[in-house]
Amino acid sequence: MSIHIVALGNEGDTFHQDNRPSGLIRTYLGRSPLVSGDESSLLLNAASTVARPVFTEYQASAFGNVKLVVHDCPVWDIFDSDWYTSRNLIGGADIIVIKYNVNDKFSFHEVKDNYIPVIKRASNSVPVIIAAVGTRQNEELPCTCPLCTSDRGSCVTTTEGIQLAKELGATYLELHSLDDFYIGKYFGGVLEYFMIQALNQKTSEKMKKRKMTSSFHGIRPPQLEQPEKMPVLKAEASHYHSDLNNLLLCCQCVDVAFYHPEVTGVVEAHKIVLCSVSHVFMLLFNVKSPADIQDSSIIRTTQDLFAINRDAVLPGASQEAPSNPPLPVIVKDALFCSCLSDILRFIYSGAFQWEELEEDVRRKLKDSGDVSDIIEKVKCILKTPGKINCLRNCKTYQARKPLWFYNTSLKFFLNKPMLADVVFEIQAGIFQAMCLLICAEMYQVSRLQHICELFIITQLQSMPSRELASMNLDIVDLLKKAKFHHSDCLSTWLLHFIATNYLIFSQKPEFQDLSVEERSFVEKHRWPSNMYLKQLAEYRKYIHSRKCRCLVM
């Protein structure tokens, strides 16, 4: 009896330690304990690979006496150059594996649009496994703020992979690396499950053809249990825009105060936010010089609207001067100053809700001419150097993204000394992330705590089994800290992680420090479980009994 597997797609360039080319299929055949065959016997026919360079054919033994034939086709051009061969490969397959690299989005969409429909028509309801291989670049932390969004887009997301699996009715897997865990336990466990299903189906069909009576059915093959899925930690949505808007309302860390002698009250704001949306404020606060901007209209707007008076005493200020007082800025236009609170709220909200701003200004000024004049001045403040009437029609900007995405943004001030008053020194390690998680829990910064949890999980998932076994990483200590600091998601995930890598962590001395409840959980969810090993032994006996029965008959 034989099983035919067809593997399609290129998962990226990977190499053995001796610089020989490798990949998902070759690595599995070389490492899986259920597949036997030395390196020379894996390659079925060297001549055939020279004649047909678009695919490589392997032969090995699985489950002791089952013939395993694998066609590995990394080049999709086989569907264009040799349709007859590719159709026969797909039509005769018992299992289809589609593999791709998560950092090659162009190839992914090319395959999805051109070749996936062909496979869908020719597969005849054959089990399909989609393997997304590799670690996504520039996506260590799933942050959705504008500082991180622009760095992504070149990777195939998990959502795209899952959507493709739904179209094909396939099983979706993510393999961050080709190590023992992802190949042997994760990919291998799923592939061997479908191999067993194919054997069961073929055995059933063979028995029907021979018209055997019910007395010869014998024992039924055991249903091998599958490894339990690791819990998924969903990324928390970004609070960037709402937090930025709340910053204005709370008036925390203000460093600039606008006022007019004839208008009561002071309007406080933050230099870095104002400079991130307007060259007028960059010029006002000396972040840029007139030579840098080279736009007379922006220079004229700055001079006509604002002036810095460092010696001014702000209205309502206390007698005792604060250690770091905000910079006094005179607003030369009294009407503009009276509407400045609404204008700043408009800027902090993203500078795109023009209709709402116009309504707020109209409620204060009443006169339509004054309202138009204020709106035109806001347009001049948000003007981009070198562009004329860039905000001529406000309503066309109503449905667009906030101005942070189009004009100079807060990224301009990243790693720059201008307007900065705090410096973070970051080291991307597990212990440092745990320390930061503890601080985040102490100060109740829930999203920072969540990001630290995701970072720790990502780092642990990317470690090969050998590294986990050799390094001095006390997972039990991480588990205790996560529990103590109310990180329930991380503590639950760590328990599953210990159970999944039971053979590694059960040999470490710190494993004895687990509580009775924790050890009970690990024993219940351990992999490979005693039940799995028992079922596997029963299945081998079943295969042997079938072979002997066929010989007798």
Q: In the predicted model, what is the mean pLDDT of residues 455-468?
A: 83
Indicate if the pLDDT at residue 224 is higher than 70. no
246 part of a folded domain: no
pLDDT-wise least confident of 123-137, 332-346, 525-539: 525-539
| HSE-CB for 220 with a 13 A CA cutoff | 5
Same domain, 32 and 116: yes
pLDDT digits (tens, 9 = 90+) for 471-520: 777 888 899 999 998 888 889 889 888 888 887 888 888 888 888 888 88
For tokens 């990919």, the residue is: 187
Task: Quickly state the pLDDT bin for 85 (edges 50, 70, 90).
Answer: confident
Residue indicated by tokens 């899925």: 229
pLDDT on residue 330 = 93
Q: Phi-psi region for residue 86, left (φ > 0), alpha (ψ -120 to 50) or beta?
A: alpha
- Do residues 368 and 455 share a domain? no
Q: Are residues 437 and 290 in the same domain?
A: no
255 and 360 belong to one structural domain: yes
In a domain, 282, yes or no: yes
> CA 491 to CA 437: how far, in whole Å?
13
pLDDT confidence of residue 406: 41
| % of the chain exceeding 90 in pLDDT | 12
Confirm whether 26 is domain-assigned: yes
- The verdict on 160 and 42 lying in the same domain is yes
pLDDT at 249 over 70: yes
Output the six-digit token pair for 401: 């993204």
Read off the tokens for 347.
Answer: 């800027």
Residue 19 lies in a domain: yes
Q: Per-residue pLDDT averaged across 402-429, rounded?
A: 65
296-355 per-position pLDDT tens digit: 899 999 999 999 988 877 765 544 555 678 899 999 999 999 999 999 988 888 777 888
> Strand 21-22 to strand 171-175: parallel, antiparallel, or no bridges (unpaired)?
unpaired
Residue 376 and residue 469 in one domain: no
Considering the domain architecture, whether residues 188 and 282 belong to the same structural domain is answered as no
Residue 328: inside a domain: yes
Most confident of 88-97, 249-258, 479-488: 479-488
Exposed e or buried b per residue across 83-102, where buried means at least 16 C-beta atoms within 10 angstroms of its C-beta: eebbeebbeebbbbbbbbbb
In a domain, 218, yes or no: no
Over residues 347-375, mean pLDDT: 88
The pLDDT, as a whole number, for residue 309 is 87
The CATH number of residue 370's host domain is 3.30.710
| Residue of 160 and 219 predicted with greater confidence | 160
Q: Cα(476)–Cα(478) distance, rounded to whole angstroms?
A: 5
Measured distance CA(113)–CA(48) in Å, rounded: 30
Segment 10-30, tens digit of pLDDT = 887 544 444 444 688 888 887
Final residue belonging to a domain, choices 382, 411, 440: 411
**Number of folded domains that form the chain:** 3
Same domain? 437 vs 399: no
Residue 69 scores a pLDDT above 50: yes
pLDDT the model gives residue 392: 52
**Complete DSSP assignment for 384-443:** PTT-SSTTS-GGGGTTSPPGGGTS--GGGGTT--TT----------HHHHHHHHHHHHHT
**CB-CB contact of 269 with 288 (8 Å):** no
- Reported as a pLDDT band with limits 50, 70 and 90, residue 103 is confident
Q: What is the pLDDT of residue 336?
A: 94
pLDDT score of 226 more than 70: no
47 pLDDT band, cuts 50/70/90, is very low
How much is the average pLDDT of 381-400?
62
Instruction: Look up the pTM and report it.
Output: 0.43
361 belongs to a structural domain: yes
Res. 38 pLDDT band, cuts 50 70 90: very low
Same domain, 71 and 113: yes
Q: Are strands 171-175 and 128-133 parallel, antiparallel or unpaired?
A: parallel
Q: What pLDDT does 173 receive? A: 86
Indicate if 402 and 486 belong to the same structural domain.
Answer: no
> Are the C-beta atoms of residues 135 and 176 closer than 8 Å to each other?
yes
Domain span at residue 387 reads 251-315+323-411
Average confidence score pLDDT of the chain: 77
- One domain for residues 6 and 121: yes
Cα→Cα distances 141→150, 200, 254, 432, Å: 13, 43, 29, 15
Per-residue confidence (pLDDT) for residue 404, from 0 to 100: 45
Residue range 163-220, pLDDT digits in tens: 888 888 888 888 888 877 788 778 888 888 888 888 888 877 777 666 555 444 555 6
Which pLDDT value is given to residue 306? 94
What is the domain-level CATH number for residue 206?
A: 3.40.50.300
